[in-house]
Amino acid sequence: MIFKNKSPKAITYVLFITFSLFVFQNCSTENIDLDPDNDGITGTLDNCQNTANPDQEDSDNDGLGDACDDDDDNDGIPDADDNCPTVANPNQEDFNDNGVGDVCEDSDGDTIFDAVDNCIDIENPNQEDFDNDGIGNLCDEDYTAPISPCEDGMAGIYPCDGYDLMGFVDVADLGGVEGNDSWGWTDPTTGKEYAIVGTNTGTAFIDISDTQNLLVLGTLQTATTNSSWRDIKVYNDYAFIVSEASGHGMQIFDLTRLRNVTSAPETFTTDAHYTGFGNAHNILINENTGYAYAVGTNTFSGGAHFINIQDPINPVAAGGFSAGGYSHDAQVVTYTGPDSDYIGREIFVGSNGNKIVIADVTDKASPVLIKNITYGSIAYAHQGWFTEDLKYFIVGDELDEWNFGGNTKTLIFDFTDLDNPFLDTTYTGPTTAIDHNGYVKGNTYYLSNYSAGIRFLDISDIENGNIVEEGFFDSFPTHDNTSFNGVWSVYPYFESGNIIISDIEKGLLIVRKSGT
C-alpha cells in the first residue's frame, strides 16, 4: 500500500535520472577545442590562447604572451606606438631620430643592443675584451692581439703560464750574436715605448709601440771591442751604457733622436762619452738626484764610481765608494722606508759577490758604510732589488745552484732596520735553473731565470714569508737545467703592461699578462 501511494514520486525520480544521464552523455561526447590557436600549447598552459605562439614569449613577464600583448615590455607605451616594444623605455629616447629607441638600438647589427655593446660601431657578437677595460678588442685602440697567445701551456713554441707573446726580434736583427742586458724608455712627448737591448757588439734601439710590427731603429756600436757584458740605464731621455770591454767608458745617447729616424736601421753615434773609467760591469742611476753609479770598474777597488749626470751630455766625476770592495750590481734609492734614521738619505745597496753592502752615499765626498751582510751557502751575491715599501731586499745568488745544487733560490732580506738587516726567508723555485736579474713592480717580482725563462712571483704576502709563482714565460724551451742559457734580463715598467725580455740566444721578446 505504501509503494502504491508513493509510486508517482518514484517514477518522477527515475525519469529525472534518465534524463540527466542522457544530457551528460551528450555533453561528454561533444568535441571541446582545448587548443584553439593550434600552437601545440593547450588550455591554461597557453599564455595567449587565441593567437598561435608556440615559443610562449613573454618579454615583460606579465603572464600574457607577446603575440597577444599590446604592451610587450610593460612600459605603458602600446606596441604600435613604442619605438622599442620589447625593452622597457617609457621615456622613448631616440638620440639619432631613426625611429628605434636607444635602449634597443643595434648600430653594428651584431644582435647586441648598443646600451650593453662594448663596441657599438663594429660587429663583435662575442664581446671579447682581453684587457678588461670595457672596450671590445675590435674597437680598442689600446689593445693589440698577441702574436702567440698562451693557450694550453704554450705560446707558439714557448712554454708559458698566463703570459702571451706580443712580439719578437731575433738577436741577429739586433746587430749581435748574443744578447745581454736591456732597459726601456717611454717618450714623454709621443707616449711611444722603446726597448733598448745590449748585444755583444753594441746596443740596439727598437720601437715597440706596435708589438706586431717591431721596428729596429738602429744600433750604437760598442765604444771599443766586443763584449758579452753590457748594461744600460735611462735618465732624462738619455741612455747611459757601460760594458766590460776594455777602455769602454760610459756612452751617452740622446733618446729623443729616435723620433726622427727615417731610414731604419741607422748606425748611431754617441752624444757624449765619459772616460773616467774604462770597463764597468753595471750602471745604476738614482733618478731623484741625477747621479749615476758605475760598479765593477777599474776605479775605487771596483766599488761605486759616482758621476753627476744632471746635465746628461756633460757628466762630471763625483768621487766613489771603495770601503765595501768590488760591486757586481747595485740599487741606489732616496730612502723613504721604515728606518727613520735614514729618511731622505741616498742609500746604496751593492751585491758584491761574497757579501751584500749597505752604504749611505748622500755625501759624495764622504760615503759611509752602514753594514756588510753575509749569509749561509753564499756563492755569488749577484743582484738585488727593493720592494716598493723599501722594507725587503730581494737577492739573487747567481752561483748557488751551480755550486751547491738544488732548485732556484731567491733570498729575501728584512731591511726594516738598515743597521741590522737579516735573511728573512728563502723562496725555492720549481726548476734547477740559475737566477739572474730581478726587478719589483707592485706586488710582482720579475725574475730572469736563465734557462727557465722569466718567472713572475707574487710577493703580496712577503711579510709572512709567502711567495708564490703566478706565471712564467720560458723563452729557452730546450731545457730548464743549471746553465747560462736563456733570459739575461727583464724590464717590466712600461705603462702598457708590455714586458721586455732580453734573451742570450733569442734576442728580444715582448710578453704581456694574458687578458690585459
Separation between Cα atoms, residue 171 and residue 174, nearest integer Å:
5
**pLDDT (tens digit per residue) in 338-383:** 999 999 999 999 999 999 999 999 999 999 999 999 999 999 999 9
**What is the reported pLDDT for 369?**
98
Residue 274's nearest CA partner among 228, 243, 236 is 243
Q: pLDDT digit string (tens) for 186-218?
A: 999 999 999 999 999 999 999 999 999 999 999
Return d(Cα 408, Cα 398) in angstroms, integer. 9
The rounded Cα 389 to chain-centroid distance in angstroms is 21
Predicted confidence at residue 74, as pLDDT, reads 85
Alpha carbon 491 to its chain's center:
12
pLDDT in tens, 54-64: 888 887 788 88
Which range (79-93, 293-307, 411-425) has the least confidence? 79-93
Q: What global pTM score does this model have?
A: 0.78
**Mean pLDDT within 437-444:** 98
Instruction: Assess contact for 384 and 331: CB atoms under 8 A.
Output: yes
Q: Cα 380 vs. chain centroid, distance in angstroms?
A: 31
Q: What is the pLDDT of residue 19?
A: 53
Decide which of 76 and 472 is more confident.
472
Confidence band of 470 (pLDDT split at 50, 70, 90) = very high
Least confident of 116-130, 360-374, 413-427, 433-447: 116-130
* Residues 248/222, Cβ–Cβ less than 8 Å: yes
**322-341: pLDDT as tens digits:** 999 999 999 999 999 999 99
What pLDDT score does 85 carry? 86
Tell me: pLDDT of 13 over 80. Answer: no
User: Is residue 104 scored above 90 in pLDDT?
Assistant: no
Instruction: Classify the C-alpha dihedral 374-378-379-384 as positive or negative.
Output: negative
Question: What is the distance, to the nearest Å, from the Cα of residue 136 to the centroid of all Cα atoms in its chain?
Answer: 18
User: How do beta strands 409-414 and 392-397 pair?
Assistant: antiparallel
47 in Cβ contact with 61 (< 8 Å): no
Q: Please write the tens of the pLDDT for every residue from 381-427.
A: 999 999 999 999 999 999 999 999 999 999 999 999 999 999 999 99
Q: What whole-number distance in Å separates Cα of residue 101 and Cα of residue 118?
A: 18
Alpha-carbon distances, residue 11 vs 6, 15, 20, 150 (angstroms) = 9, 6, 14, 95
- Please tell me the predicted confidence (pLDDT) of residue 6: 47
Closest CA to 57 of 71, 45, 47, 44: 47
CA angle centred on 244, ends 221 and 252, rounded to 5°: 45
Confidence of residue 284 (pLDDT cuts 50, 70, 90): very high
- Beta carbons of 36 and 49 less than 8 angstroms apart: yes
Percentage of the chain surpassing pLDDT 90? 72
Check residue 131 and give its pLDDT. 66
Q: What is the pLDDT of residue 8?
A: 57
Residue 3, pLDDT score: 42
